[in-house]
Amino acid sequence: MYIYVVTVTYKVPIAQIMEAAPAHREYLQSFYDDQTILFSGIQCTKTGGVIVMRSDNDTRVQELIDKDPFYTLGLASYDWVSFEARKAQPYIEEWIHGK
């Protein structure tokens, strides 16, 4: 299982982001429900967001991006890095390994 840190960069003023935020959060909920996403949120600078998730491959990440309202409405762009977690706090080990 790989960990992905997805960075979201807003392409429009924050007011437009806030209008679309409820649809974005609703969309992400299914990824929370199946434990794909560990957490997500807006950057402190209000210029983008971050999503931390797990997957066996890049396909699931691209699926999340392609259907996200922020992306489909042209409000944000996305980048990510993936890595294999080698060490973690005990309380998160099960999530990392997909248990």
Question: In this predicted structure, what is the pLDDT of residue 49?
Answer: 97
Superfamily of structural domain 2-85: Dimeric alpha+beta barrel (3.30.70.1060)
Tens of pLDDT, residues 7-63: 999 999 999 999 999 999 999 999 999 999 999 999 999 999 999 999 999 999 999
Sequence spans of domains, the chain: 2-85
Alpha helices in 34-74 (DSSP H): 58-67, 69-72
Helices 58-67 and 14-33: crossing angle, nearest 10°? 140
Predicted TM-score (pTM) of the model is 0.92
